[in-house]
Structure 1
Amino acid sequence: MKRIRKDSLIKEGLIKFRQSQGEKRAFLAEMLAMKTLNCPFLTRLQSVFENDTRLFFIMNFAKGGDLMNLIAKTGRLSEAQTKFYAAQIVLALGTLHKYNIIHRDL
C-alpha cells in the first residue's frame, strides 16, 4: 500500500484543491487504466481510497522492493544493473505512453 498526503500533492501542484469535472474524469480514467494494464514492468493497481488527509493506493506486492530501496541498500548499481533497470523503466514508460498515461514521478 502506498499512502500520500493530499496537502503535499496540492503543495507540489500535482492536484488541485478543487478539481473540475474534466480533471476528475481524467483522474478516474487513469486509475481505471492502471487497474487493467497487464505489463510485467508495472505494479498493478488494485484499488484506491481516501480519507480527509491522504490518498491510499493498494497495489500488487513487489517482492524485491523498489529501485530506490535497492540503491539505498547497495550504495550504487553496476553498469550491467543500470542497463537492466533502465531497460525495464523504458519498457514500462512505453506501455504507459501507449495508453496516454504520463508518469509524473521520475
Structure 2
Amino acid sequence: MALNALCIAVALSGTEIYQFLITLFLLGVGWNFLFTGCTKLSLQTYSADEKDKAQGALNFSAFTTLAVSSFASGVLVTTRGWMLLNIGSLIPVRLTAAALLWL
C-alpha cells in the first residue's frame, strides 16, 4: 500500500518525464505486491479441491477490473485531468489500507 500511496504522491507532484517514470515503476511494483498478497490471502480460505476454481474466479475478477479501470482512467484523464485522476486513486488505496489494517 505504501508503494501505491507513494506512486500517487509522485504523480501529483508534477508531469515531467522522470515523474512519470518513477510513478510507473512504483505502480508496477506496488500492484504486483498487492496482487500476490491478495492471491495468497484469498486462497488460504479455500480447501484444496476449491483452490483452482477460486483462483480462476479471483484472476478473472482482478483482470476484468483492471481492464475496466484502464479504459475509465483514459476517459477520466481526458475529461477531468491528471490531478483529479490521481486524487480519485486515493479512494481505493485508502479502502484497501483500511481493510488490511482491519484484517
Q: Same fold (TM over 0.5)?
A: no
Larger fraction in strand: 1
TM-score (norm 2): 0.33
Q: Which has the higher contact order (CA 8 A, sep 6+)?
A: 2
TM-score (norm 1): 0.32
